[in-house]
Structure 1
Amino acid sequence: MIFKKQVFRADKKVTPLIGIILFFISIFLFIITIPLGFVYGLFYKFFKKGIVGIGEYLLNIAISIDQLGNVTMQHLLNLLWIKKNGYKFGNRDETISSALGRNNKLGTLSYFGKTMDKFLNLIDKNHSLNSIDYYIEPSADVIDKLAWIYIINQRVLLLGSKEQPYYSFPGGKKQKGTSDAMTLQKRIADVLQIELDITTFQFIGIFEAEAEEYKPGILTRTTAYSASFSGVPTAFAETDQIVWLQYKDRDKVSRVDKLIFDFLKKSGRLA
């Protein structure tokens, strides 16, 4: 399959005055247009899909309100719901529930955060954990990486380096303005001297864990792919070495790569 180019654009710098003006314009348009759009949307969904359509429509609105709350309430939530080393609320592309779930996984919820999480669980079991969004736009609290997964005889290829404490999957950080496939193809060509066939890329999954060697609350999010290639994998740098690991070698990789090992083992690909 061929992946469409995914482009992340950095936020444009604006003056405070522009921000204030746009805020009041958006509030004005919200008051004028939302009631009409909401009523029309209810009727439209009802005639298209009945009660189910209305439920879907209201759920989408609830998610949007949740994202708005994550921005407007970020400073208060960061003060009351999480510990100092927690994952921060405030990403405009993320819901409150998603950020709550990330802190739940990290064990960085405060007393108030745990109380809210328990309350939501009464309504919807494992609500915050199931709400974690792995497709949010990049932020300073998330290190976005790519990994190429290559398995032979239930052993997976990783790279080792004297400069790094762990073996790691070939790959690297995502690049703004470049698709995952193109970024990974270039990176793998640099480190292994092979050419990945972009038309054969297969998405494996997105894995997220607390990052090593960074301050607490920083996460590593790895998007993993497999793909066919031409050539013979050869470590380019003299300090690097190619290793073939099994599941028993799980302790030799980073936290996020451990999750990939778990997934590969569970799916029967790794011995």
Structure 2
Amino acid sequence: MSAERVLKGINFAARALYRGNLVKILSKLKSYMSVINSPTIDVVAWICIRDRQVLCARTMGKNVFYLPGGKREKGESDWEALCREVQEELNVSLIAETLTEVMVQEVAHGYTEPTQVTMRCFQADYRGEIIAHSEIESIAWLSYADLDQCAPATQRVLEYLSQQWID
């Protein structure tokens, strides 16, 4: 949940308090405080579009597709983590000069709520041939119609991209 949404909730609660509706305000504050105090998983992801479809990967033992990428190791920048993860997962090298960024936040798949995932999505050209590597069981080129095969944060990205970049 964004800070702006939390502030709107707090403003709502303050107005309710002003009107003397203490039960309503306490309920709203409790729900917003749980989001503020909820753990956040911070990851980087690569958006690769070909023929109006997005490259997604499925990790061994998982039943949904994710955007390629993962968590940073200690001391890594977003770019370093993204390059390492994409190299490990897909056996390709990203080209720094072509980097662009998008930001997405969604409830994390496979974690208990209210855990949040913050996913910084980058688009960049690459060198090499994309193949499933390391812990990746399979890769797929997905469109908006394949939303139900994806983790929630990846669904959010596909929804955004379907506005003009993918089918």
TM-score by length of 2: 0.77
Q: Find runs of 4+ consecutive structure 1 residues off by over 4 angstroms.
A: 100-103, 113-116
Provide the residue aligned with 2:131 in structure 1.
234
Provide the residue aligned with 2:76 in structure 1.
178
State the Cα deviation string for residues 15-49 of structure 1 (Å, max 9, x = none).
Answer: xxxxxxxxxxxxxxxxxxxxxxxxxxxxxxxxxxx
Judged with a 3 Å threshold, the aligned counterparts in structure 2 of structure 1 residues 239 and 217 are, in CA distance, closer, same or farther, namely closer
Query: Is the CA contact 2:69–2:85 (under 8 Å) kept in the aligned structure 1?
Result: yes
Letter in 2 for 1:179: S
Judged with a 3 Å threshold, the aligned counterparts in structure 2 of structure 1 residues 112 and 254 are, in CA distance, closer, same or farther, namely same
Query: Is the CA contact 2:38–2:114 (under 8 Å) kept in the aligned structure 1?
Result: no
Unaligned runs of 5+ in 2: 11-22
Provide the residue aligned with 2:52 in structure 1.
154
State the Cα deviation string for residues 117-150 of structure 1 (Å, max 9, x = none).
Answer: xxxxxxxxxxx9xxxxxxxxxx861100111010
Letter in 2 for 1:219: Q
Provide the residue aligned with 2:165 in structure 1.
269
Q: How many residues align?
A: 149
Letter in 1 for 2:120: T
- Partners of 1:179 and 1:187 lie apart in 2 by 12
- Partners of 2:161 and 2:113 lie apart in 1 by 27
Judged with a 3 Å threshold, the aligned counterparts in structure 2 of structure 1 residues 148 and 115 are, in CA distance, closer, same or farther, namely closer
Provide the residue aligned with 1:112 in structure 2.
25
- Partners of 2:28 and 2:119 lie apart in 1 by 30
Letter in 2 for 1:269: W
Q: By how many angstroms is 1:101 displaced?
A: 5.9
Q: By how many angstroms is 1:114 displaced?
A: 7.0
Question: 3-state DSSP class of the match of 1:248?
Answer: helix
Letter in 2 for 1:152: R
TM-score by length of 1: 0.49
Question: 3-state DSSP class of the match of 1:250?
Answer: helix
Rg larger in structure: 1
Share of identical aligned residues, percent?
23
Question: 3-state DSSP class of the match of 1:177?
Answer: coil
- Partners of 2:69 and 2:166 lie apart in 1 by 19
Letter in 2 for 1:182: E
Provide the residue aligned with 2:88 in structure 1.
190
Provide the residue aligned with 2:113 in structure 1.
216
Judged with a 3 Å threshold, the aligned counterparts in structure 2 of structure 1 residues 218 and 115 are, in CA distance, closer, same or farther, namely closer
State the Cα deviation string for residues 223-262 of structure 1 (Å, max 9, x = none).
Answer: 1001111111111137611111111000111111111011
Judged with a 3 Å threshold, the aligned counterparts in structure 2 of structure 1 residues 234 and 99 are, in CA distance, closer, same or farther, namely same
Judged with a 3 Å threshold, the aligned counterparts in structure 2 of structure 1 residues 208 and 244 are, in CA distance, closer, same or farther, namely same
Query: Is the CA contact 2:38–2:116 (under 8 Å) kept in the aligned structure 1?
Result: no
Letter in 1 for 2:96: I
Query: Is the CA contact 1:185–1:198 (under 8 Å) kept in the aligned structure 2?
Result: no
Provide the residue aligned with 2:146 in structure 1.
249
Judged with a 3 Å threshold, the aligned counterparts in structure 2 of structure 1 residues 152 and 142 are, in CA distance, closer, same or farther, namely same
Letter in 2 for 1:228: D
Judged with a 3 Å threshold, the aligned counterparts in structure 2 of structure 1 residues 207 and 238 are, in CA distance, closer, same or farther, namely closer
- Partners of 2:69 and 2:155 lie apart in 1 by 16
Query: Is the CA contact 1:210–1:217 (under 8 Å) kept in the aligned structure 2?
Result: yes
Greater share of strand residues, 1 or 2? 2
